[in-house]
Amino acid sequence: MSNITVLNNVDHADLKVQINTADNASIHVNRSQVYASEISELHKEFPLLIFRDETSEQLQLHAILGLVKNENLFLSEQGWTTRYTPALLARGPFSIGYKKSDTGEADAPMICVDTDDPRVNTLYGEAVFLPMGGESPYLQYIKKALQTIESGAQYNKTLFALISEMDLLEPVSIEIKLSNVEQVSLSHYYSINEQKLSALDAESLHKLNQYGMLGTLYFLLSSMGNFQRLIELKNAQSALL
């Protein structure tokens, strides 16, 4: 169950969020949906692929975090080992909500919190507000993550529309052989066809650049090199077992 309420510094003056990685099941996942608006940071850390849902046929951007279910190889006991955390996982128990006006139109976005989330308490963790009611550095971090998600949804629609229009998607078959007998396969994933991207005419390249997506496509391609890092992390983990 959840109890979503609008965040404010009166009712939630003492609110804290426990971000300890060991107790945080929500970040122990092997992939996370991500947004085109954060790819400039994500591509430095994670392998990035495009996922097509078999039922809805909708496309999603995914950061690959592990090779088996509930495995995040970018976590340690001290927290994330990366310089950047995917916004959807960084937001914690917070979300964006809209209250409709009398005319039925959505008002300005509001930060909401799930007060029934097990990470939320008044004793331990990161304070949401400062003693005099101001925003804590943690809340400012959360706001940035929520803004990334909010703008990212539209960025993704634009990205997928352009790559579909220009026929740049290509299926990828990823077979990873680890240092032991274990082998991992990733299916239903796509990437960008580099040859088709390089062969685009000037008008198409201008259009991609106009929408700010040309660099994003090359970031997606460069992120594939991070699979080697993922394999190294997995092999290191297996060696300790």
Instruction: Return per-residue pLDDT of the chain as tens, 241 residues.
Output: 789 999 999 999 999 999 887 778 889 999 999 999 999 999 999 999 999 888 888 999 999 999 888 999 999 888 899 999 999 999 999 999 987 766 666 677 899 999 999 999 999 999 999 998 899 999 999 999 999 999 999 999 999 999 999 999 999 988 887 766 567 778 889 999 999 999 999 999 999 999 999 999 999 999 999 999 998 998 888 776 5
Q: Identify whether 183 is part of a domain.
A: yes
- The model's pLDDT over 89-111, given as tens digits with 9 standing for 90+, comes to 999 999 999 877 666 666 778 99
Helix, strand, coil percentages for the chain (3-state, nearest 5): 35, 25, 40
Q: Coil, helix or strand for 143?
A: helix
Structural domains counted in the chain: 1
Cβ atoms within 10 Å, residue 192: 21
Q: Identify whether 124 is part of a domain.
A: yes
Q: Identify whether 39 is part of a domain.
A: yes
Q: Identify whether 137 is part of a domain.
A: no
Torsion sign over Cα 229, 230, 232, 233: positive
Residue 75, strand partner residues = 80
Q: Coil, helix or strand for 133?
A: coil
Q: What is the pTM of this model?
A: 0.90
Q: Identify whether 27 is part of a domain.
A: yes
Q: Identify whether 8 is part of a domain.
A: no
Q: Return phi, psi of residue 79, to 5°.
A: 130, -160
Q: Identify whether 30 is part of a domain.
A: yes
**Residue 86: domain span:** 15-91+119-128+153-240
Q: Identify whether 136 is part of a domain.
A: no
